[in-house]
Amino acid sequence: MDLKQSMRLLRFADIKQTTNTAPSIVTIGNFDGIHLGHQYILQKVSTFAKAQKAKSTVICFEPQPKEFFMGENAPARITPFRDKMLNFQKAGIDQVLCLSFNQKLATLTPDAFVQKILVDGLHAKHVVIGDDFRFGFQRQGDYQYLKKLGQQYGFDVSSTSSYLQENTRISSSIIRTYLQHGEFDRAFALLGRRYSLSGRIHHGNKNGQKLGFPTINIPMPTKVAVSGVYAVKVHLKHKVCYGVANIGIRPTVCGKMRLLETYIFDFNHDLYGQYVTIEFLKFIRAEKKFTDFDALVTQIQSDKEIAKSWIQKNMIIKG
């Protein structure tokens, strides 16, 4: 999916320099996971934008604020940046303003945020926010404060109540917990889609090939909510396959960068450079360090058989 063709990805420099004065209907947040609650907000933004002939616009942050303040202690992401952008696009959003969350932005007052970004930058006509929304230095701004500024600058503000399912508020933290425990059906119920990660296939160190299990490799630049070995469904450009995947740092080979490695069953084609989506089906085991490569090969073979057996029983495939 080409972001350049159907959804604009903006940075702060873009809105400072633009001469475009088209009005925007805006929402603001991390949108980690883009779950059903997020989708409800995005739908409202899109509906308002079409009715008012404006641009449906999302403001998000990179890194996410908690990642800026907490570093490696920040909660793992549900959705990496590229997957988040793809889901915004699927929701019909016209443009996403991704702001670099740094010290300067962290100390921006609510008034300055509204004037520089919402008013001068995006020409906001209406702002839609969640009921727990906070913004500006030390989270001083809230719904009431934004509404007051809206009256001053001439834009409307509406708040959406928490999105409930079976009297439980849908939140990224709940979904993250489900994913970390391998409860993919529960996560699916709150996400509205099966959990997956996507990316471009890179060349690796060919360790899997040397061990007899060639893998496709996708770097994971941020910490995500899943870690370990899983049975997976692999969505290629024109084909769907199954396999077993490991996501982590690969301690046996002294890996340092997070990597999603996937061994596709009964498949032997060159996929380098292509984009692929890995759908997580079943947790098999946690990642661990093995004493030698023989032990690792034995474990990989066992993982493969466990994954294949589960897939044959649950996904109705043969072979």
Cα-Cα-Cα-Cα dihedral sign, residues 176, 178, 184, 185: negative
- Are 80 and 222 in contact by the 8 Å Cβ rule? The answer is yes
Q: What average pLDDT does the segment 137-144 reach? A: 89
* 285: three-class secondary structure by DSSP: strand
Question: What pLDDT does 207 receive?
Answer: 55
Tell me what percent of the residues of the chain surpass a pLDDT of 70: 91
Reply yes or no: is the peptide bond before residue 23 cis, omega within 30 of 0. no
Cα separation of 13 and 283, whole Å?
Answer: 43
Task: Using alpha carbons, list the distances in angstroms from residue 304 to 41, 47, 54, 252, 311.
Answer: 41, 46, 51, 18, 10
Average pLDDT along the chain: 89
Question: How much is the pTM?
Answer: 0.89
- Give start and end residues of each alpha helix (H) in 133-230: 143-153, 172-180, 184-191, 207-210
Per-residue DSSP letter, 73: G
Above 50 in pLDDT, residue 318?
no
Q: For residue 23, count other CB atoms closer than 10 A to its CB.
A: 17
Domains and CATH numbers, the chain: 3-169 (3.40.50.620), 194-314 (2.40.30.30)
- Would you give the DSSP letter of residue 85? H
214 pLDDT above the threshold of 90: no
Residue closest to 229 by CA, chosen among 313, 177, 302:
302
**Which two structure tokens, joined as six digits, stand for 68?**
């800026």
Angstrom distance (rounded) from CA 319 to CA 316? 10
Please check the confidence at residue 171 and state whether its pLDDT lies above 80. yes
The contacts of residue 290 (CB under 8 Å, 6+ apart) are: 252, 296, 299
Band of the pLDDT at 319, cuts 50, 70, 90? very low
Residue 305, classed as helix, strand or coil, is: helix
φ, ψ of residue 296 to 5 degrees: the values are -65, -45
Give counts: helices (H), strands (E), the chain: 12, 14
Q: Which tokens is 8 given?
A: 């604009």
